[in-house]
Structure formats: structure tokens, C-alpha cells
A and B are shown apart, each in its own frame.
Chain A
């Protein structure tokens, strides 16, 4: 045999691997939408109506409250869900992926149907749309920062279970430093330092001592809980000046904040929320369009390949884990200075683990983390709304939603969650 291919163009061999079509996710979405149609749509008594309030008294533009026929609204929202399930199936048939927007819009549509159903026929109460969206965004803030932290670490190959601890450390140091200086904004500078320190510990144990990263994460969470609670009960309690409730004013952005409905939701927030917008946008671009991002992702997927082209694997990992910790720490400021609260023991109450869930559901991208966190924030805000109007659905089930959604995601039942290939594996030469 001699090489005869020299002149003829070497046609690429046809792909012999045809991945199976994955209809599971779209089927699951479709079934839930159908259930929603039956229960919330057909199940709503005809003739009942639901009142939606879309503006608040303080808003620049006054919009009238809108009363919709409940059944029609719930049916329409369920049909939107069904339509999205169909779109997902169509894309799956073409072997194409759907964006993270789909499950988020879908989730909101179904939850909207639920809300309409719950609010049906209750003339005395109305659904506060603006309030609901505002608190969704607000509740999502620590989740977004936490999920961004997780994304940064895991994209470089380090599993960050310590998000919870980083949030808590950030909340603590923000309150402490802000109280010492007497200025809430200084807390925003202190918070990332605390998170970065926790991140540094994680990075050292993971890259230098090759300790199982999950072990380190779990134990660091305990350590931060212990340390912050200890100082809270001693130094802070003995000296109340060190733990004051300092707040940050809302900074409405001129013009933008006057846009009906979305204006007050998005552009009448405090500084931390604006930092959040910038962080998500910057990280989204940097992670997927910059040299830094390309190298980080290479390290997380195939460290040896990165090493053979001259990238320092462990240095990249340490830097990312520290940066991630700093971002989670900044998110921790939400609990104290950005909410106008003093520090309290274990005040993050598991938000770090929901952030982990948001990271997975957001498929390890900043944009996805934002979307998933907003969905979880929406579920949380909805819980409060339903509690207020006295819903037939136990609030605990809505509270479970983020966790169950994540279990479905990792079990490949809804969408496909694929973590960076080298995550959790120490790089040893």
C-alpha cells in the first residue's frame, strides 16, 4: 500500500457516531405542562378572575390593576409551557440544544399558571406582579453570586462546595468592617476579601495536598459557621458597635427606572444589584470570548492538554478558586449590608447549596447561572405571595422546587447537565 491520497482531497470520513436523540427532557416538560393545563387551567372555576397589580404607588407611571379571567389566563400560560415543550422536542429531533432561557421561561409560565389558579376568585387580594418580580430579583442576588463563584471554580476543575461558607464569611466581614467604619459601602470591599480567603484555603488543600475537594468544601463550611458564630457570640455581642444594621440606599437610574413594570424591577436597586449585572456580563464575555476564559476552560476539561501547550494548570486553578471565593464573598454582603441587616448566626441558611444547584442548572455558564438563580428567586418570591393570599399549595413544596429540579437535571431527566470533565481530579504531573 502506498499513499495514493496525495492528490485527491481527503474527504473527512463520515461520522460513525450518531448520538441518540434525547426526547426525555421534552417529554417531561410536556407532561408537566399538560398537568398544569388540566389542574390550573380546567381546574379553575370559569367566571372567576384574578387581579394582577402591575405598578406600585411610588412608580413613575401609574398603570391600572388588570383583572384577567382566571381560567383563560391559566390555560394560556399552560399552553405557552406546552408550546415550549414542543419546541424542545423539535430541537431534540434535530440534535440541537436549547438555551437556558427555555426552562426558565417555561418554569415561570407554569408557576404563573399556578399563581393565577391560586388567586382565582379571591377578590379581596390581588397578585402583585411588580412586587413579585422585584423580590424575585432581590432573592436571586446571593444565588447568582454564589453560582458565579461555583462556575468559575468548576470551570477550572475545582469543585466548590464551600460556596455556603464563602457567602457566610462575606456576610460576616461586610457587617463587621462596615460597622467599624460606619459605612455600608465599605462592607462591599471587605466581603470579597473574606470569601477569597475561604477560596484560598480550598485551593491550597485541593492543589497542594490533593485532599478530596468535597471533603474540604464541607469542612470549610463548618469552619466558617463555627468561626463566624463564635465571633458573633463573643466580640460582636459584647460590643454592639461592631455589628450594626447598616443599609444601602436604592439608586434609581434616571429614565430607565421609569419604564413600566421592568423599570422599577431592574433599575431601582442598590449598588450590589448593579454590580451583579456588570459581573454577570463581564464574566460571560471573559469566560467564553477571552484568552483567560479559553485557558480556564481548557484546564477544567483537559488539564494535560493545557499543560502540553504551556499553561500552568495548578496556578490557573488557584487563581480561579480565589477569584470565585471573592465573588461569593461579595454575594455574602447581600445578607447584611445590602439588606440593611446586622449579622446573624448561620444567616445564609443553605443559600450556598441552592447556588450550587443554580450553577448546575445554569450549565456552568454565568448567563445560565443568572437565569437559574432568577427562576429559584421567583419560586421563593412566589412562596411568599402564595402565603399572603393563602394558597392551597403548601409553601414547602415550592421551597423544594429548586432542589428537585436539580436532581432531575443531574439524573438527565430534564436537560443534560455535563460538568467540566476534569472537575474534582487533582492534577499531578
Chain B
């Protein structure tokens, strides 16, 4: 089936997630939709799948316009979707999950015909070598097999267009290879596949056509023969360049030494694989890389939110790995978390309270058990002014602020203590240009005041603009540490896994 999207626009309030997007998927081909997280890929597919209503534009199947009121309509029309977060009922068996919503039944009591469901699962599983047992309970299956169940679910409903939303985000490299093989087989069998991803390697491996989306717009399309660096630069946007006024760094003593830091997650996937590096006082080390290559885990392991399974981090002579979050923070580390609303602020508390979340029990904010409201208010006013937080009052709840102002509150809090090290994860994500500039300025000021700074960013522009040195991460390892003058093609190659030496 041929799928065409014409001029799709989807807005959330003032934010335009999709801006007049056109897309054409030819029958039996693999079409990759490439872009960073937050570029608007998933929104587009949710529009297509009937989960969101588009504000403008139309969807055509085999040149006939269609309108879906919900996922049921989309499925009936032959569109299947494998969501990034699987839509599987964990305690159910594979067969039960596959049949759910379009069950074969027997008798007036509508008892389930599990044999029919099993047969269907086996038939599809055999056709594509999925090797899935219809009677296995889903929660006992590894993630890769769960994903194959999702694909069976879609195929059992005769999907002729299959949307895979970030399918490899949770897979091990081996599972990823298996999946890419399956995608090839599916398209060979005549199914159109839309592959949403930000991973270049996968795109090159299987895509017939590539469309790149950035900030809600189609910024280009490419042939699969395009080089990884071409794709990378399209994706992260070389055209817009950011400038940050900063003097050359004056690196001092080594402030942070990380040796062999390793994190293995609950699913026993190695997220951080023996990472070692140093950061000096008065310099900014930016961690670059395509998202999901261990950057988040690195920041969280340093702060103690996740426990390191091996290796250690030493801050100014003190080992900080193994300490509680509170101890780590008080040993002189400031942390700007990646997910501001989840980890950064308490939305229902006031700005003043959010400004002392980590120091509320320290002098001068508290004497013994007693908070000092006057000190807290005075300091809050000072911070709100210094950090240009646009609020009517410090008693306003943090949740009522715009994203940029929320981030300023977080920054004001984290920068208000004397810091040896500042760790900021994607500090400007979702912010407007003005706020971005402000945040960058404050980070540079912190460096100039003598702190070591680690910036994790998925935006290459931001990395280049801020960094004194750039560490590029790939698959949980640092593939190289290079100076900020390094040209973008080289950086792009490194982000795709090539080692520094190979590039050079």
C-alpha cells in the first residue's frame, strides 16, 4: 500500500511539533524517518495512527484521503504500529496479546479460541523466523522477543504498512541486528515499513529512502548511500550555528577523575562501559553523541542516582562513587538534570522553596529544625533577579512558570553553592533562544569562576559552542576526546562510532 502525508501540521498550544510535513512511502519499501529526540517524529506517527488529530494536512492511502478517529480505524485500514513503549500486557501470553481486541471466539459465552490464536502466531513467527512461542508469558521474554510479539500483533491484523517507533532504543546490538533483518524480510514480502530512529547505522543498513526531520520540519531527504557524516549533519543541523562569547579557558588543577566507570541496567544491558576521563578546574568538557549512548547514565552515575557497577570517580581527592546523592551534592557538585519537570523541580511548591530544595536544612536557610523564611525569601528574590526568572512573585508555584524560567530556577539553585563541578544534562532542551543564550552565559561564568563543568548535550551546535574539549560517546564508551575546533564531519563520524585515530 502506498502512504502519503501532505502538509501535516500539529500544534500543542504555541508549540508547533509538526510544521507542514510531507512524506511519501512507496509500497514495499523501508522509509526511514531520521531526527533527534523531540524533532517531531513520534508526533507525526501518532497523527498517522489516529492518536492525535492533525491541525492541517491530510493522509492518503493509495491516493485516497482517509481520516482516522482512533487507532482502531488506522488498524482497520491496514496500518500497524510498534510503539516505542510496547503496548503489551505483561502477564498475558504471546497468543493472548496478539489476539486482544480481535479475538476468535467460540460459543455464546464467547470463549477464547486460543488454538486459532496460537496457530496465527506460529504461522507469522515461522514465516519470518521470529522463533516466538505463543504460550510464553510476555513478561518472561527478553525485550527483543517482546518487540517481535508487537510486530506479530500488527501483522496478524493484516497490516500492510508497519510503523516502528524508535524500535532499537531498548535493544542490545545483537537484537538490533535481528530486528533489521526482520525489517528487510518484511519489506521483501511487500510490507511498507516506516522506521523512526535517530541512529544512523540502522538507517544505512535497511532504508530505501530517508527523510530527515529537525525541529518539526522536513530538512531534507537522502539516499541510503549518503555518508554517515552527511546524515549526522543534516540531523543535528549545521546551518544554524550558535555563538557563545567566551574567553579561552584557563584550566587549573584536575578536579574530577573518572576511571573505568561502568553501569549495567536492570535488564543487564551495559549502558556505560568502562568510561575514563578527567576534567580540570576552569574548563568545560562537553559530552557529545547521539542520544542513548550512555550520556544520561554517565551523569546519573556521577551524581549517585544510579549505582556504578565498577570503576570510580574522584572529585578533588575524594571518591564520590558509592556515596549517597546528598553527600555527593554537598561535596561540591551541582546537577542540572535532563528531565527538568520530573527531576528538577517540584511543580506544586513555590519558586522560593524550589530554590532551596537541596540546601533547605543548611545555614543560613535553616537554624536547627527551623526554616528561616525571611532569609529564604531574601535569597530567592536575589536569585530570581540574578537569573532573570520571569515571575510575578517568589511565592508563585514553579509549575506555573514557562520551561525556560523553570530551567533558570534549577540553574539558580545549583549555581548558588560554591561548586567544584557542575554537571548539566541537555540544559537548553526545549528552551527559547533567549533562555538558551542566558543559560550558556551562566555556564561559562561558572567555568570562569573556577569550577569544572561537564555538559551533556545532543545538540552538536551547543557542544561546539560551549566546549573547551569534546568527548564523543558511542555505545557506552568514549570513542575520543577532541578539541572544539575539530570539524563537524569528523565529529559526525565519531558519533557514528568511528574512533578518533581512524578519523584522523
Contacts and interface: CB of A to CB of B under 8 A. Distances in A.
Interface in A204-243: none
Nearest to B133: A12
B71 A308 contact: yes
Contacts of A5: 177-178, 180-182
A298 B89 contact: yes
A295 B100 contact: yes
A164 interface: no
Nearest to A286: B109
Contacts of A310: 70-72, 75, 101
B267 A13 contact: no
Nearest to A11: B131
Contacts of A411: none
B130 interface: yes
A143 B75 CA distance: 43
A59 interface: no
Nearest to B269: A16
B103 interface: yes
Contacts of B356: none
A13 B90 contact: no
A15 interface: yes
Contact of A13 (B99, B111, B144, B183): B144
Interface in A272-325: 285-286, 289-292, 294-295, 297-298, 301-302, 304-311
A124 interface: no
A10 B130 CA distance: 6
A290 B112 contact: yes
B501 interface: no
B359 interface: no
Contacts of B131: 9-12
A17 B205 contact: no
Given A10-B131, A12-B142, A298-B92, A3 B99 contact: no
B219 interface: no
Contacts of A11: 131
A16 B96 CA distance: 24
Contacts of B75: 309-310
A129 interface: no
A51 B204 CA distance: 83
A297 B93 CA distance: 12
B142 A305 contact: no
B437 interface: no
B177 A309 contact: no
A58 interface: no
B402 to A, nearest CB: 23
B182 A10 contact: yes
Contacts of B180: 1, 3, 5
Interface string B80-110: 0101000111111000100111110100011
Interface residues of B, number: 52
A305 B88 contact: yes
B320 interface: no
A384 B341 CA distance: 57
B132 interface: yes
B185 interface: yes
Nearest to B109: A290
A419 to B, nearest CB: 11
A422 to B, nearest CB: 10
A308 B132 contact: no
A286 B111 CA distance: 7
Contacts of B112: 289-291, 294
A421 interface: yes
Interface in B271-326: none
A14 interface: yes
Nearest to B140: A15
> Which of B96, B100, B110, B180 counts the most A-chain CB atoms under 10 A from its CB?
B100
A349 interface: no
A306 B88 CA distance: 9
A310 B72 CA distance: 5
A3 B102 CA distance: 33
A3 B205 contact: yes
A3 B181 CA distance: 5
Contact of B268 (A1, A12, A16, A421): A16
A10 B178 CA distance: 6
Given A291-B112, A309-B75, A310-B71, A301 B90 contact: yes
Interface string A1-38: 11111101111111111000000000000000000000
A13 B140 CA distance: 12
B479 interface: no
Contacts of B182: 5, 10
Interface string A82-111: 000000000000000000000000000000
A310 B266 CA distance: 32
Contacts of B51: 308
Contact of A306 (B90, B100, B142, B178): B100
Contacts of A301: 89-92
Interface in B164-202: 172, 174-175, 177-178, 180-185, 201
B355 interface: no
B177 A294 contact: no
Interface string B119-162: 00000000001111000000011101100000000000000000
Contacts of B21: none
Given A3-B206, A13-B142, A14-B142, A305 B201 contact: no
Interface in A186-213: none
A311 B70 CA distance: 11
A13 B100 contact: no
A3 B129 CA distance: 14
B183 A3 contact: yes
Contact of A309 (B100, B144, B266): B100
Contact of B142 (A6, A16, A285): A16
Given A12-B132, A297-B92, A298-B100, A309 B141 contact: no
Contacts of A6: 181, 184-185
A311 B102 CA distance: 10
A310 B75 CA distance: 9
A14 B51 CA distance: 34
A294 B201 CA distance: 40
Nearest to A421: B90
Contacts of A290: 105, 109-112
A5 B206 CA distance: 12
Contacts of A309: 71-72, 75, 87, 100-102
A306 B70 CA distance: 12
Contact of B103 (A14, A294, A297, A308): A294
B198 to A, nearest CB: 17
A227 B182 CA distance: 63
Given A3-B205, A301-B89, A13 B175 contact: yes
A291 B72 contact: no
12 contacts: A1-B205, A3-B180, A3-B205, A17-B142, A286-B109, A290-B112, A291-B103, A295-B101, A302-B87, A302-B89, A305-B87, A308-B87
Interface of A: 1-6, 8-17, 285-286, 289-292, 294-295, 297-298, 301-302, 304-311, 421
The 5 closest A-B pairs by CB, nearest first: A309-B101, A5-B181, A310-B72, A305-B87, A16-B268
Given A16-B269, A298-B89, A309-B75, 8 more contacts: A2-B205, A6-B184, A295-B100, A297-B89, A297-B91, A301-B89, A302-B90, A309-B102
